[in-house]
Each structure stands twice: as C-alpha cells, then as structure tokens.
C-alpha cells in the first residue's frame, strides 16, 4: 500500500539539482518520501565513503509526506546515514538521481548516483538509479516524467531480484519521440582520459581531467548505448557480486594451491 511505503531518495548532483526535484515528484505517487542528498555536487565519487572528517546533516524542508536533508557526505554516506541512523525503519525502496548525464556503459563504475543504488542493494533494499543523457544543470526532465513513473510501477509490481539494482538511462528527447523501454546489457566501452596541463597564478602546475568516451561495440543492439542512441530507455540489471564465475572455473585449473 502507498500509505505504508517508505521511499529513500538521494543523488550525486546535490540537494539543489533539478534532477532530484524531478525524481521526488515522480516517487511521491508511490509512498512517503525521505530525501537525503549531498549539499553540493559529488559526481564521479563512485562508492566513496567519508572516514577522515565528521559527517553532518541539516534538515532543509519538511511537509506532509516529504522530508529533505542535506549532508556534507558522499551519496553512499547519505544512504548509510539514512538506513542506519535517520530513519526509524528500513526503507521499502531507494531511488537515486535523476542524474544530469547518462550512467550507461563504463560510467556506471564511476557514478555516485549508481553507487547509492548499489549501496541499497547491498543492504537488501530494492534500488534504482535514474539518469538522463543531458549534462546541463538546466536539463529538462518533464519529457521523461511519465516514463519514470512507468519504470517505478513495473519495479513495484514485479519486484527487483535479490542482489540486483536497476540502472535506468533516459535519452534526450520529447515524450512522444521515445520509442519505448529496452532491458539490455552494459555496453563495452572506455573513457580515454586526457589531462590538460595548466599553471595557477603562482606558476604551480596543475591538471584538469578531460576525455572522451569510446564505444567498443557501437553496433551491438542489445546494449544500453545502442538503446539510448536509438531513442529507447535502457534498463540494465546490475549486481553487487563482482565474481567472474566463468573465470573462476578457469582459475581452478591453474593449480594455484600446489606448492
């Protein structure tokens, strides 16, 4: 029942991000909402946690069915704080995003948005990360509102398998131009980094990270990158068990334990 459902919302773009507000409006249809998000952007933090300085939280908004906190911690810190300290019961679902920029392919490894969803998954909580392929702070999320609700409804109706969270990416397009939803696999690709070498006013060297994504299988129609390029919403099931079971069997033949 909606009245009994508690939904935890977070992100990595910060408490003031438009994508966070858009996601709150989506999930308010499905339960009571508790929000805790970084006080500033934490993109690219992956699964980082804070261990060297105190983590602080501040309530920034409260109304019927919705409370919002900001924190100086990372997205994963936010989930840990909510689940272990701030909530009086375990949330029924964790949703993260909507990220400004896609988290398809290799980006899922670096994403604070997806790390928050993965942290929920580790704790046995059904979790979804949402991202839009638009990096602008002023990105328009109105065209994906109904699609995001559809994903929520499917997840709530069927449930998410144990040990799995969902990585959902939306293409940049109007509502009517989105062709549908594709359940697919993570694309093989790599970010090829470049570091722009600069000098500060004191003539000290520093480096600014730049780079481009290189798709290693651009014509594979069963991938998230292909789905986004062809105006589909991609859903990739992500699991927290990083064991390669195929390689496990191969390594058993290495006779490693001998000698």
Longest dimension (CA), the chain: 66
Supply angle C-alpha 48, 118, 64, rounded to 5: 100
The H or E element that residue 68 is part of is strand 66-71
For 195-212, write each residue's pLDDT tens digit.
Answer: 889 999 999 999 988 878
Topology of the domain comprising 2-186+218-254: Stationary-phase Survival Protein Sure Homolog; Chain: A, (3.40.1210)
Strands 66-71 and 32-38: parallel
State the pTM of this model.
0.92
Q: How far apart are CA 172 and CA 149, in angstroms?
A: 17
DSSP 223: B
Per-residue pLDDT of the chain (259 residues; tens, 9 = 90+): 566 899 999 999 999 999 999 999 999 999 999 999 999 998 888 999 999 999 999 999 999 999 999 999 999 999 999 999 999 999 999 999 999 999 999 999 999 999 999 999 999 999 999 999 999 888 999 889 999 999 999 999 999 999 999 999 999 977 788 999 999 999 998 888 788 899 999 999 999 888 788 888 999 999 999 999 999 999 999 999 999 998 998 888 887 665 5
Q: How far apart are CA 49 and CA 248, in angstroms?
A: 29
End-to-end CA, the chain = 59
DSSP 72: S
What pLDDT does residue 129 have? Answer: 98
Q: How far apart are CA 71 and CA 37, in angstroms?
A: 6
For 142-188, write each residue's pLDDT tens digit.
Answer: 889 999 999 999 999 999 999 999 999 999 977 788 999 999 999 99
What pLDDT does residue 3 have? Answer: 62
Contact in structure between 92 and 5 (CB atoms under 8 Å): yes
């Amino acid at each position: 029942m909606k009245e009994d459902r508690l939904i935890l919302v977070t992100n990595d773009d910060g408490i003031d991000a438009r994508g966070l507000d858009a996601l709150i409006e989506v999930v308010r249809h499905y339960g009571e909402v508790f929000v805790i998000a970084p006080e500033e952007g934490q993109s690219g933090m992956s699964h980082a946690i804070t261990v060297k300085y105190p983590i602080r939280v501040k309530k920034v908004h409260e109304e019927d069915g919705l409370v919002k906190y900001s924190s100086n911690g990372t997205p994963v810190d936010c989930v840990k704080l909510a689940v272990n300290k701030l909530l009086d019961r375990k949330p029924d679902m964790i949703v993260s995003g909507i990220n400004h920029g896609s988290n398809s392919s290799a980006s899922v490894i670096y994403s604070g948005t997806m790390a928050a969803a993965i942290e929920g998954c580790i704790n046995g909580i059904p979790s979804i990360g949402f991202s839009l392929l638009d990096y602008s702070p002023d990105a328009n999320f109105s065209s994906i509102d109904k699609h995001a609700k559809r994903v929520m409804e499917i997840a709530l109706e069927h449930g998410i398998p144990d040990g799995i969270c969902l990585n959902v990416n939306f293409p940049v397009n109007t509502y009517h131009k989105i062709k549908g939803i594709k359940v697919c696999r993570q694309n093989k690709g790599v970010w090829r980094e470049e570091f722009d070498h600069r000098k500060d006013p004191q003539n000290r060297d520093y480096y600014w990270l730049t780079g481009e994504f290189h798709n290693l299988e651009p014509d594979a129609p069963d991938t998230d990158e292909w789905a986004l390029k062809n105006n589909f919403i991609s859903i990739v099931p992500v699991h927290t068990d990083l064991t390669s079971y195929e390689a496990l069997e191969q390594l058993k033949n290495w006779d490693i334990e001998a000698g």
